[in-house]
Amino acid sequence: MTGHVIVERRGAVLSATLNRPEKKNALTGAMYETLTEALATASADADLAVVLFSGAGGVFTAGNDILDFATRAQDPSAVEDSPGGQFIRALARFDKPLIAAVEGNAVGVGTTLCFHCDLVYAAPSARFRMPFVDLGLVPEAGASMLAPLRFGQAKAAQYLLLGEAFDAETARQIGFVNAVAPAEDLFALAMQAAQALAQKPRAAMLATRRLMRGDREPLYAHMELELEAFAAAVRSPEARKAFMAFLGKSK
């Protein structure tokens, strides 16, 4: 399963590419575990300065693999400590710069992951969506706090409550992505930014990032509240109905 995430070291940059294009890079528990291990590796290695996320096959990720997720969710006690939960905790607490190169669909965690990235680059095909409510669920990765802070309450309601998608140009206009680039140039642009960050004076860069982010404890606490609410929502009839409908369509 680790072949579904390609982790490569490129100088001082650790590249993590979601590589399950036949399933639109939908994330399984094993893939989350690999991503968490990649963050741990980058955190522990002083020679690694930046982590870059991307997706293979013209898509970032379709979000959670619903079949894998629904199977794991049958054990209520495992939801909060699931591989996905462990990954978003590691993501939020990671202290080095994070970059995302987004092409095609970025659904669910594909969008919420970007809230934690310092730089996000998108291809014109990028389409961000957080359909948690539609699935009978609640947001994760701190999105219910970070979206209102980033977009304002009105836009956050549009994207979280209505579950509306937004495209690459809209994402640029609202400050969610730094730039939109042709698909064939996207990864190179993101890697160029990653390499530029890697060459900066390390202590000054990390200190500046910490100062920009401020006190993160309220975010960590909010994420735990989200995970508790998420675990309760997973067991709801609404969520079970939504999962069954989704799986029925995918057959």
What is the pTM assigned to this prediction?
0.93
Closest C-alpha to 174, from 191, 193, 149: 149
Rounded distance, CA 231 to CA 165, Å? 24
pLDDT one-digit tens code per residue, 188-203: 999 999 999 999 999 9
From first to last of the 251 residues of the chain, give the pLDDT tens digit. 458 999 999 999 999 999 999 999 999 999 999 999 999 999 999 999 999 999 999 999 999 987 776 666 666 556 668 999 999 999 999 999 999 999 999 999 999 999 999 999 999 999 999 999 999 999 999 999 999 999 999 999 999 999 999 999 999 999 999 999 999 999 999 999 999 999 999 999 999 999 999 999 999 999 999 999 998 888 888 877 877 776 666 55
Count the Cβ atoms, other than its own, within 10 Å of residue 46. 8
Closest C-alpha to 119, from 45, 202, 212: 212
For domain 2-184, say whether CATH 3.30.1310.10 is its number. Answer: no
The 13-18 sheet, strands edge to edge: 5-10, 13-18, 50-55, 98-102, 119-122, 179-180
| Residue spans per domain, the chain | 2-184
Amino acid letter for position 246 = F
Closest C-alpha to 91, from 3, 216, 229: 216
Q: How far is CA 237 from CA 135, 136, 233, 242, 246, in A?
A: 11, 8, 9, 9, 14
Q: How far is CA 4 from the centre of its chain?
A: 16
Helix axes 29-44, 83-93, angle to 10 degrees: 30
pLDDT for position 65? 87
Helix axes 217-234, 237-250, angle to 10 degrees: 80
